[in-house]
Structure 1
Amino acid sequence: MDILKIKAVVFDCDGVMFDTALANRKYYDEVLQIFGKPRLNEEQFINIHMMTIRGAIEYLFPEMDDLSSVYDNLKNIGYKKFIKFMSMEKGLKELLIKLKDKGYIRGIATNRTNTMEKVLEDYGLEDYFEVVVTAAKVKKPKPDPEQLLLIMEKFKLKPDEIFFIGDSDYDQKAAVRAKVRFAAFKNPDLKAEFYLESMDDIAEIFQIN
């Protein structure tokens, strides 16, 4: 990869910036319990990890034509109390500071909807990104490329000037459709240019470690 071409480093949130497995599992288990359903099994958990909240609820409650009661309960539950169960990836802040010092645009492309702002606030990351694109800001979330295309449009970037780091099939598909550079984070099963296990691996690629 010609590293000199890259101008923006874009992160997925869940599974890249944060280990959100425990938080997400607790969140969806609580709503399932309200409706007398069993807790998430592993297949369900893997699938909802990639989805928007709407997509996850439609997937978990396929027998219900009217999901309004589920969404009402979600509002009552809220996600904020689960943010404390998220674990920020070691070295994330340090990497973001180094990327800024080197002049890179730092971005987020996530299928989170209305919780990303609170996550950034709670973990002191509000000022660490030049652009944050959530599912709420686009018509079609990942695997659609719209989030990445919006970042390109905003900063007048070409596809090969974006380095997108994701951990799911949705991320991979969005990257392919947007024709951006893709790095797989802690997921060797994805097709990617790079396979990363830590923030240090990203720093090494950009020679800022």
Structure 2
Amino acid sequence: MKAIIFDFDGTLANTLPICYYAFQTVFKEFDNKDLCSEEIKAMFGPSETGIIKENLLNINKEQAIELYYEKYSENHTKLVKQNSEINDLIRYLIGKGLKLGIVTGKARRSLDISLKAIQMENFFDVIITGDDVIKPKPHPEGVKKALSLLNVKNNEAMFIGDSDADIHAGIQANVITVGVQWLSDYQTLEFSIDPHSSFNSVSEFIDFLKKGVSYEL
């Protein structure tokens, strides 16, 4: 294994509450709609700007997008905390000499806010956001692009995520897939297609890595 690629929301950081809050504010303000977290989650796939452009009825979409980022930024510290276990995992992987990447549906603007807030902005060799692909997950475009930029083969990489879309994208990119439910908020209760492995805690995953288990793709 030469590289580990992560999803972001619900995988590296418990950012789903701030995403829900910002979207709920936007849809209430512009469409007078009260959306629950499940309704918002059903829109996930495109970046935040894509979600607003595709789902908001109000014509003032650019204003709505700016409100989203305003709410996302101003409430980030309150709703998103650093996770010491995730930090330990990242340090462990870097110490092992592994290349690290992120493939996320988030827009670059919100990802940058989050990475800076939780002090993760300097850990990753490659970052692919929703702005960098034509086809979002579950399409494998983002994972394949990350592999290319990391200069690793598909059988030398692992993709870790908390959603069905992550697992589908990883399998279609022909990499090892790991489904995780190790943060308090995650996207998928049960994966519709089985990942190669799944973990409910970060420490369990680190123990797994230390054992050096290998897979046949």
Query: 2:209 is matched with which residue: 199, 206, 209?
Result: 206
TM-score when normalising by structure 1: 0.85
Q: Distance in 2 between matches of 1:116 and 1:23?
A: 12
Q: Distance in 1 between matches of 2:199 and 2:82?
A: 16
TM-score when normalising by structure 2: 0.82
SS of corresponding position for 1:16: coil
Displacement after TM superposition at 1:59 (Å)? 5.4
Amino acid paired to 1:80:
S
**Closer, same or farther: CA 156–36 of 1 in aligned 2, 3 Å:** closer
Query: 2:92 is matched with which residue: 83, 89, 98?
Result: 98
Describe the superposition over 1:95-138 as per-residue Cα deviations: whole angstroms up to 9, x where unpaired.
11111111111111101112112211111112211111111122
Q: What is aligned with 1:3?
A: none
Displacement after TM superposition at 1:152 (Å)? 1.2
SS of corresponding position for 2:179: strand
**Closer, same or farther: CA 188–27 of 1 in aligned 2, 3 Å:** closer
Q: What is aligned with 1:175?
A: 170
SS of corresponding position for 2:18: helix
Query: Structure 2: which 5+ runs fail to align?
Result: 182-187, 212-217
Query: 2:76 is matched with which residue: 70, 77, 83?
Result: 83
Q: Distance in 2 between matches of 1:202 and 1:68?
A: 46
In the alignment, structure 1 residue 163 sits paired with structure 2 residue 158: yes
Out of 142-151 and 68-77, give the one that drifted further.
68-77
Amino acid paired to 2:190:
D
Taking the TM superposition and a 5 Å limit, the aligned residue runs for 1:1-209 are 6-58=1-53, 60-61=55-56, 64=57, 68-78=59-69, 79-84=72-77, 85-113=79-107, 114-186=109-181, 187=188, 189-190=190-191, 191-207=194-210
Q: Distance in 2 between matches of 1:68 and 1:37?
A: 13
Out of 35-44 and 169-178, give the one that drifted further.
35-44
Amino acid paired to 1:139:
I
Amino acid paired to 1:71:
E
Out of 153-162 and 91-100, give the one that drifted further.
153-162
Verify the 8 A CA contact 2:81 2:118 in the aligned structure 1: no
Supply the RMSD in Å over aligned alpha carbons: 2.1
Q: Distance in 2 between matches of 1:86 and 1:48?
A: 21
Amino acid paired to 2:199:
L
Amino acid paired to 2:200:
E
Verify the 8 A CA contact 1:16 1:89 in the aligned structure 2: no
Amino acid paired to 1:151:
A
Equivalent pairs counted in the alignment come to 199
Displacement after TM superposition at 1:50 (Å)? 4.4
Out of 76-85 and 122-131, give the one that drifted further.
76-85
SS of corresponding position for 1:35: helix
